[in-house]
Chains A and B, each alone.
Chain A
């Protein structure tokens, strides 16, 4: 069964204290891995797409990396406005299936950055 597990569930950082969020996945075949950010009371907001092991993407203080079994979201020198829940999702490849938008999401990591 395709599965996504994120850790930790919650993370508290001081402003400027860098850290990483983990997303481990089990899928029969990976089409893509995605990171989203969700603020309270809002819908998720797309951050990154990663397709193959070794790929990296960056945006401001965020950097996403991918291996064959997990992805990391590195947060460098975070600011209070980076506080949010970060969701990891995978799109699994199944023989005979078309490329659809059926994503499997993890439970998320809730990040709080204190000034």
Chain B
């Protein structure tokens, strides 16, 4: 158990809809990361937050947005969903701020299926 909690574990929805994925990081971790894993693209970095502020951005679509709240949990919002958005969405956390060591603690993921 990594200590990172993601909900929901599974989500089935229709094209055009909007969903919210939630992540609670490990106790004490200030950084939260979102990654998308699909069969053809592998694990792709979406966005990182550190202590409530956006720290780094990957190829995150404009239809997607995220935030980190004062209690450090994070939410990833996916809107105007398309079939191609079907994937596993992982949240990860780490304790560092300015000195990244590479040790990310991943949750078990939220599997999104868009029909």
Contacts of A87 in B (CB 8 A): 43
B78 proximal to A (CB < 8 A): no
Q: Tell me which residues across on chain A come within 8 A of B31, comparing CB atoms.
A: 101
Q: Is the interface of A mostly helix, strand, loop or mixed?
A: loop
Q: How far, in Å, is A86 (CB) from chain B's closest CB?
A: 12
- Count contacts between A and B, CB distance < 8 Å: 68
The reply to whether B100 and A44 contact each other, CB–CB distance below 8 Å, is no
Q: Which residues of A does B touch, CB under 8 Å? A: 31-32, 34, 41-46, 49, 87, 89, 91, 98-108
**What A residues does B25 contact at CB under 8 A?**
none
Contacts A43-B92, A89-B43, A100-B48 aside, 6 further interface pairs with beta carbons under 8 A come to A49-B103, A99-B98, A100-B55, A101-B56, A102-B56, A108-B42
A43 touches B100 (CB 8 A): no
Q: Are B90 and A43 in contact (CB under 8 A)?
A: yes
Complex interface bits, B78-115 against A, C-beta within 8 A gives 1, otherwise 0: 00000000000010101010111111111111000000
Q: Given A43-B4, A43-B107, A107-B42: A34 and B48 within 8 A (CB)? A: no
- Sorted nearest first, the 3 A-B pairs with minimum C-beta distance are A43-B106, A100-B56, A49-B102
* Interface pair A102/B108, CB less than 8 Å apart: no
